[in-house]
Amino acid sequence: MNVTLAIGIIFLVGAAGGKLARYVKLPSVTGNLLAGVLLGPSAFGLITGDVLYEMAPINDLALGVIALSIGAELHWGTIRKLAKDSAKIFMVEAMLTLLLVFGFLYFFGIPFRYALIFGVISIATAPGAIIACIRETPTKGDFSRVLLAVVALDNLFAITLFGVVISFMQVGAAAAEASGFDAVIVATHGIGISLLLGVLAGSFLVATSQWAKSDKRILVSVLGVVLVTVGVSNQWDTQALLSAIVAGALYANFSKKPQRISRALFSVEDPILLAFLTLAGVKLDLSVLPAVGQIGAIYILARFAAKLIGSRVGASLTAFPLSWKHNLGRALTPQAGVAIGLAIIAEQKAIFEPDSIMPVVLAAVVVFELIGPIMVRKALCDVDKCG
Which among 269, 276, 267, 370 is positioned nearest to 14, based on CA atoms? 276
Contact by Cβ (8 Å): 31, 22: yes
DSSP 37-83: HHHSTTTT--S-HHHHHHTHHHHHHHHHHHHHHHHHT--HHHHHHHH
* Pair 144, 342: CB distance under 8 Å: no
Q: Could you tell me the CA-to-CA distances from 316 to 33, 86, 319 in Å, in that order?
A: 33, 11, 8
CA neighbor of 323 nearest in space, from 141, 86, 96, 135: 141
Residue whose C-alpha is closest to residue 328's, from 163, 130, 109, 121: 130
Nearest-angstrom CA–CA distance, 88 and 85:
5
pLDDT in tens, the chain (387 residues): 788 899 999 999 999 998 998 888 777 888 888 898 899 887 888 888 788 888 888 888 888 888 888 787 777 766 666 677 888 898 999 999 999 999 999 998 899 989 999 999 999 988 888 888 888 776 666 788 888 888 888 888 888 888 778 877 766 555 444 555 555 665 566 778 888 998 999 999 888 877 766 666 788 888 888 899 988 888 887 778 788 888 888 888 888 777 777 777 877 888 888 888 888 888 777 777 776 778 889 999 999 999 999 999 988 888 888 888 888 888 999 987 778 878 877 877 777 887 778 888 888 888 888 888 889 888 888 887 644
Phi, psi (degrees; rounded to nearest 5) at 86: -60, -40
CA dihedral 148, 166, 348, 288 (to 10 degrees): -60
Return all residues near 286 (Cβ < 8 A) that are at least 6 apart.
Answer: 37, 42, 366
Do 307 and 333 touch, CB atoms closer than 8 A? yes
Q: What is the dihedral of CA 156, 345, 341, 187, to 10 degrees?
A: 10
For residue 193, what pLDDT is reported? 84
The pTM score is 0.77
The candidate with the shortest Cα–Cα distance to 336, out of 169, 154, 192, is: 154
| Backbone φ and ψ of 286, nearest 5° | -65, -15
| Distance between CA atoms of residues 143 and 327, nearest Å | 10
pLDDT given for residue 177 in this prediction:
47
With beta carbons less than 8 A apart as the criterion, state whether 365 and 284 touch.
Answer: yes
Cα(346)–Cα(64) distance, rounded to whole angstroms? 21
Q: Quick one: CA dihedral 387, 333, 318, 242, positive or negative?
A: negative
Q: At what angle do helices 143-174 and 240-254 cross, to 10 degrees?
A: 140
Name the amino acid, one letter, at 49: G
Calpha distance 369→30 (Å, rounded): 8
pLDDT given at position 215:
67
Residues 6+ apart with CB under 8 A from 279: 10, 36, 52, 55, 58, 59
* CATH number attached to the domain at 3-386: 1.20.1530.20
